Structure formats: structure tokens, C-alpha cells
Amino acid sequence: MEELDGEPTVTLIPGVNSRKHQMCFDWGPGEMLVCETSFNKKEKSEMVPSCPFIYIIRKDVDVYSQVLRKLFNESHGIFVGLQRIEEELTGKSRKSQLVRVSKNYRSVIRACMEEMHQVAIAAKDPASGRQFSSQVSILSAMELIWNLCEILFIEVAPAGPLLLHLLDWVRLHVCEVDSLSADVLGSENPSKHESFWNLVTILVLQGRLDEARQMLSKEADTSPASVGMCRIMGELMRTMPILSPGNTQTLTELELKWQHWHEECERYLQDCTFASNPHLESLCKIMLGDEAALLEQKELLSNWYHFLVTRLLYSNPTVKPIDLQYYAQSSLDLFLGGESSPEPLDNILMAAFEFDIHQVIKECSIALSNWWFVAHLTDLLDHCKLLQSHNLYFGSNMREFLLLEYASGLFAHPSLWQLGVDYFDYCPELGRVSLELHIERIPLNTEQKALKVLRICEQRQMTEQVRSICKILAMKAVRNNRLGSALSWSIRAKDAAFATLVSDRFLRDYCERGCFSDLDLIDNLGPAMMLSDRLTFLGKYREFHRVYGEKRFADAASLLLSLMTSQIAPRSFWMTLLTDALPLLEQKQVIFSAEQTYELMQCLEDLTSGRPVHGGPDTQQCQDDDIETTKVEMLRLALARNLARAIIREGSLEGS
């Protein structure tokens, strides 16, 4: 893609005077923040911005349209389906499959256009009505361009059938004739209706000669003087040779028949057969392809490409695709007549008639307000093997570049971002990197949304992103004091440091409340408890309580002692563990052996010898020290008594 041919449009921000105040801005992936600053070189006295607001400027506002969301959602399914059937597209079926896909895209555009039209009619606010009508015009232009590209690049219609496709194209997009026909035929006397001859002329201009003949028969019924002329004109219309889809005649045969028919029309005109009826004479000139006669009907033709197709129909019905550009350029020049310059739509259509695909894509990128059209059209043309030679200088081909831009726009929307994921998936060069960058910026407002994002990352083995999301959710859970959820997310993230932090919170809560929360989670840690020493301690300490509750005192004592001696218990928790040993030391039967008791005594001494000595008159600290001293004395007494009992018991067992 080359640089823009014109200046970019200026966006005015209400309340902001950029000439008087310096602006501050910050770019985001799909939007920009803009505000005034207090910095002003000329007027140093004024230090407060006159506009205190921060504005968000979005580059792609179409994604927020409710009606256009239908376009994005339904076209996403067509896009993904096309990528999946790529391997099946072989031989003769390939072209028909691609044409079918193209028609599916066009049907989605048309459905959205009709829905937008209804919304425009129902709009209560005139400004909203104008905005919706403008969107209808844009969607109509998009379908017009897509349809022409389908005929020229995908269908690749040869001479003969090409004109039939172009006629259908014009009839589809110049549809005022249907409402006009309903008005005329709905009147009491259609042939006397003020728009009767306009209707007949439009039907002839669109090549709908059978319908034009039927209208002429009504004129013949009510005007005896015109019966003969209407019969001759009707016969000329009936005998006009045209290549129908099921016809087997060759182009040479068609050209000979058409030449003979053309000479017959010219003979009737020279013989002044229709001289007494200016309307029929004008129709005869049109059917002869007379340019002056066609240009007299500018209002009925309404645009230059209608003029082009009508001109080809009556002057060169077997036009070859390669010659289209010459007829298109001359038709544009003749129709505009130097009175006005071509619109962006005219330039796009002209580029298509010149078979310049890249110019079509470039002009559409400049003219249209979002990337939907060019991204999907380029992807389809790429599947037609028409863009293989066009690589961009910054590392990607045109298809991928446009898909990346479109997907980036979708990620700016709170729900459409899910569609963008698939577009990134089908960009082999830069898609994964772009997805990783964008998915990290998705605000995880709810746990449900976070789980969706997490599932997407896990399916694509995006390990770093999975860890990042789990850590974010773990932090949120900790801030909300949901320790069980925090521990679960930290385990899922395989974050040992955070798992240690959460385990410490569990232990602190236990010390304050005397019980554990989220027992189901702690009881079922399984191999996950090996993630960190503190988590292992938490799981084993909970196991000690469970075993103790089952009155398996010997197992509980062994587990408690192993927690003390293995050094995985935090030193701050040793007193709690020793206190937990008290009930076991006071049991009627000896639970701890003499050797185990010595180990417990050693732990107690290590703990007391390493405690800091507090000086000063802090009353609360003195009370805490007194409590700790009492606990230590109780433990020493219990350990001494248990040691004595254990020695006696073990001596008795040895003696026996």
C-alpha cells in the first residue's frame, strides 16, 4: 500500500481550542486519548486548561454500530468456513465454490443494508436518520463494488456472458424502475400516466425488452395511430439477438445475427418509420447505441456505469474483458462531460474495469471508514490466486496486513474481540504475535470473560499469556480476600512465589481464626502442593489436622514432627506447631517416643534461643511476651513429662 493521495480528514473536538492551547495525546491499540495541557509558551499567566475533559478518539467507530455487528458476526462465519475448505478447493469446483462464498458475503451486506434502511426510516431524530441513511449509501456502494469484483475477478466471465453479468449488476443496483413500474401499472390508464414513457425508456436502457414490449402493447391498445409503430418496435425488441445462459451458439454467430438486427433497426430509423412518435424514435436510437440519444437520458441512467452497460448492450454486446477499460473511461468522460470530477466510488469502479486489483483495494482503504470490506475482499481474491505476487515491504503480504488491521479494530470492542481471534489465527506470519499483544490488553472485568480469554490462550499454547492472566486473577482474588480462588489461580499459573504468598495468608488466617477456609481446595491439592515449600507445608499441615481428627494420633505425631524437622515450616509458625503437639503430649498413652521428644525439645530450644529480646515499656509487647513465656513453660513441662513416660515405657518394653 502506498501513502495516501489526499490529506487526511480533520476531526474537530468540541470545547478544545488547539490554536490557543497545546494538546497532549496518547496512542492506544484502537483509540487515542486527547486533552489540553496547562503549558503555553505565549501566555504564561494562564496555567489552567480551559477544557478540563479527556477525550477518547476511536479510529473505528463502526464496530459499535448495532446493525453492523450483524455484518461482522455473519461474515466471520463465512471467512472461517472459507479458510477451512481451502484444501478442498480444487479443479472445476474451486471457481464455483469461491463464487458461492462471494455471493454469501454480498447477501450479508444486503441484509445489513435493508436493516439499516428500516432503522433510518424509524429514526425519530433527524440527525440520526441522516447518519443511518449515510450508512445505507456506504453499504450499497460496498455491494456494488464487491459485485463488480465478483464478475471480473472471481467469475472471470468471458466475452458474451460478461455483458449478461453486467446487465444483472446494473439491474440489481439501479432498482428505482420497480417502484416506478408499480406506480404506472397501478394507475387506471397506464399508457396515459405521466411516467409511462420514462418507464419504457428505463426498461430498454436496462435491456429488459420483454417488459418494454408488454408496456408498448398497452400503448397500442389505447392509441390506434401507434399500433403499427408499436408492433414494429415490439418485433425489433423480440428479435434482438442476445446470448442467453443456456444458448449454444458461438460468438461469431451471435455477432452476425446482431449485425443483421442492427442494420434492420437502422433501416427503420432512416425510413422515418417512427418519425410521428418521438418516444419510439428515441427508443430506436437507443437500440442503435447512439451516444447522443443515450446522453439525452442522463437523468434516467443516473450514473456513468449504467450508461456504460447500456452503451455496450446496443453497440458491442460481445465486448471482451480486456476492452472494458477503454469503454469505461470514455463512458465516464462522456457522462460527466467535464462538468464535475469523478467521486471516490467512480475511481474504484474504474480501477476494477482496468483490472487493477491493488488500486481497487487502495482506493477502498482510503474511501471506506473501516477495514471490513478490504480485509474480506482481499482474502477472497487471495484464495483466487490473484495476489500472490504482491508482498509489502514491512514483512507481510497485503492479505495478512489488512486482516491484522481489521482484527485489531475488533479487539477495541468489548465483545467482538472474540471474532478477531480467528482472524489472527489465519495470519501465518504475524498473526500469533499480534494476538499475544492484543489479548494482554483485554480488560478482565469478570471471571467469565477471564475464563474465555484463558481458554483461547490455552488452546494456542500461549504459556506466558496464561501465566499472566492467572496472576492477574490471583491478585484480584487476594485483594477481595478470596484466598481459595487466589490459590487456585496461582497454581494454574504455576507461580511458586505467589503460591507461597497465598499460603502464608492461609496460615495467618488460621492463626487468627483457629480454622482453615476453603478446605475442599486444600484437601485436594494433590501433586500441585509441590509447587512451593510453603504450599507443601500448607497441604501437609491440613493433612495433620485431618489425621488428628480421625484420632490416628501416632500418624499425626509423625507428620507433625516431620513438618518441624524438614525445615519447610516457616519459623514464625513453629510455636503454633509445638502448641499443636500439646494435646498429643498430654494423651494417656505415650504418642511421642523418647527420640521424638528430644527432637521436639531441640526445636523448642532453637525457637526460644533465636527470639529477639524486646526492651522498653510497650505494654502490649509485654503482654505478648508473657503469653509466649507461659506457652514455652507449658511446652517444657509437657515435653519433660512425656520424656519421662516415654523412657519408662520404652525401658519396660526392653525389660520384658
Assigned C-alpha cell, 496: 511458586
Q: Quick check: 29 pLDDT over 70?
A: no
The H or E element that residue 27 is part of is: strand 23-27
516 — pLDDT class (breaks 50, 70, 90): low
613 — pLDDT class (breaks 50, 70, 90): very low
pLDDT digits (tens, 9 = 90+) for 75-101: 999 999 999 887 676 666 788 899 999
Neighbouring C-alpha atoms within 13 Å toward the C-beta of 62: 21
Q: Quick check: 27 pLDDT over 60?
A: no
Q: Is 15 exposed, middle or buried (0-12, 13-18, 19+ CB in 10 A)?
A: exposed
Q: Quick check: 14 pLDDT over 50?
A: yes
pLDDT digits (tens, 9 = 90+) for 551-568: 788 888 887 777 777 777
SS3 460: coil
- Check residue 612 and give its pLDDT: 52
Mean per-residue pLDDT, 308-329: 93
CA-wise closest residue to 454 among 439, 474, 435, 475: 439
The residue with greater pLDDT, 474 or 153, is 153
**Other Cβ atoms closer than 10 A to 141:** 20
- Check residue 106 and give its pLDDT: 95
End-to-end CA distance of the chain: 98
pLDDT digits (tens, 9 = 90+) for 630-642: 778 787 887 788 7
- Check residue 352 and give its pLDDT: 95
575 — pLDDT class (breaks 50, 70, 90): confident
Please state the pTM of the whole predicted model.
0.78
Task: For residue 446, give Cα distances in angstroms to 420, 451, 452, 628.
Answer: 20, 9, 10, 45
531 — pLDDT class (breaks 50, 70, 90): confident
Concatenated DSSP letters for 340-375?
SPPPHHHHHHHHHHTT-HHHHHHHHHHHSSSSHHHH
**Domain locations in the chain as residue ranges:** 22-59, 169-319, 443-550, 558-609+623-655
The answer to whether residues 279 and 199 touch, using CB atoms and an 8 Å cutoff, is no
Of the ranges 142-156, 468-482, 519-533, which is most confident?
A: 142-156
What CA–CA distance (Å, rounded) separates 596 from 556? Answer: 13
Q: At what angle do helices 344-353 and 324-336 cross, to 10 degrees?
A: 150
pLDDT digits (tens, 9 = 90+) for 407-437: 998 888 888 899 999 999 999 989 999 999 9
What CA–CA distance (Å, rounded) separates 384 from 99? Answer: 10
45 — pLDDT class (breaks 50, 70, 90): very low
Q: Quick check: 391 pLDDT over 70?
A: no
pLDDT digits (tens, 9 = 90+) for 264-304: 999 988 988 888 889 999 999 999 999 999 999 988 888 99
The H or E element that residue 651 is part of is: helix 619-655
What CA–CA distance (Å, rounded) separates 371 from 408? Answer: 10
- Check residue 6 and give its pLDDT: 55
Sign of the CA dihedral with 445 first, then 449, 453, and 458 last? positive
Q: Quick check: 46 pLDDT over 90?
A: no
Q: At what angle do helices 594-609 and 619-655 cross, to 10 degrees?
A: 160
The answer to whether residues 142 and 373 touch, using CB atoms and an 8 Å cutoff, is yes
Q: Quick check: 526 pLDDT over 80?
A: no
What CA–CA distance (Å, rounded) separates 202 from 589? Answer: 111
- Check residue 520 and give its pLDDT: 62
SS3 37: coil
Task: For residue 33, give Cα distances in angstroms to 13, 23, 25, 138.
Answer: 12, 10, 5, 28
The residue with greater pLDDT, 624 or 174, is 174
The residue with greater pLDDT, 643 or 18, is 643
For 226, phi then psi, to 5°, come to: -100, 0
What CA–CA distance (Å, rounded) separates 221 from 513? Answer: 103
The residue with greater pLDDT, 268 or 23, is 268
Q: Return the bridge partners of 391, or none.
A: 397
User: What mean pLDDT is reported for the chain?
Assistant: 81
Assigned C-alpha cell, 365: 482503504
- Check residue 614 and give its pLDDT: 47
Assigned C-alpha cell, 226: 401507434
Task: For residue 152, give Cα distances in angstroms to 97, 162, 387, 571.
Answer: 16, 8, 15, 79
pLDDT digits (tens, 9 = 90+) for 131-172: 888 889 999 999 999 999 999 999 988 888 899 999 999 998
38 — pLDDT class (breaks 50, 70, 90): low
Helices (H) and strands (E) in the chain, counts: 30, 3
pLDDT digits (tens, 9 = 90+) for 337-379: 877 888 999 999 999 999 999 999 999 999 888 899 999 999 9
Distance of CA 41 to the CA centre of its chain: 44
Residues 6+ apart with CB under 8 A from 59: 30, 31, 32, 409
Tell me 226's DSSP state: G
Assigned C-alpha cell, 272: 422515418
Q: Which residues of 575-597 are buried (b: 16+ CB within 10 A; e: fewer)?
A: bebbebbeebbeeeebbbbbebb
Q: What is the CA radius of gyration of the chain?
A: 42
The residue with greater pLDDT, 75 or 7, is 75
Q: Which residues of 194-213 are buried (b: 16+ CB within 10 A; e: fewer)?
A: eebbbbbbbbbbbbbbebbb
